[in-house]
Amino acid sequence: DGTPDEVWAAIGTGAGISSWYVPHQLDDHEGGRALASFGPGPEMQIPGVVAAYDPPNRIVFTGDERDATLAFEWLVEARDGGSCIVRLVNTGFGTGDDWDAQYDGMADGWQLFLLNLQLHLRHFRGRHGRSMLPMGVLAGPREAAWHTLLAARGLPGSLSVGASDGAAPTVAT
């Protein structure tokens, strides 16, 4: 969902991509700096470069001069009805079984994050937040844990997947 400009705002800006992927710092020009933060610690800060920047049609992220083995090319194409086709071309070059496993594992990760992008554009287009993955372990059967979680948020026990509690998302600045 979204016009090319709206989709671009979600993938071609630091605030936009941080809302559905991982926190990003992004210089909005070709040759600019990109930094993806996958968690605390220096090993989780992944530096890169904006190798191509053509709003609202195409952006390419590559690794920086220390690790230029991956590239992520985003292509946005307008469709009828205020929607777009978004294509992600993920390329990489490396050797060994560990590299192959890491690269192949990106397919599963991208499925999750592309769903996040789709949901962000459908429900929170034009808004900025910060993506997060809250996790916890509750003792007991799954149904009891679900009701404990809902009760802690003050939500009805009948809440189901896709339902909304009506609360506005937190907006990060």
Tokens standing for residue 103? 């690269």
pLDDT given at position 25: 93
Cα 78 from Cα 81, distance rounded (Å):
9
Distance CA 33, CA 16 (A): 16
Q: How far apart are CA 116 and CA 45, in angstroms?
A: 21
Whole-model pTM? 0.71
Ordered per-residue pLDDT tens for the chain, 173 residues: 899 999 999 999 999 999 999 999 999 899 999 999 988 888 888 999 999 999 999 999 998 777 767 899 999 999 998 899 999 999 888 888 887 888 888 888 899 899 999 999 999 888 888 766 666 777 788 888 888 888 888 888 777 666 665 553 333 32
The pLDDT of residue 133: 60
Q: Say which residue the tokens 């992927």 belong to.
A: 21
pLDDT of residue 166: 54
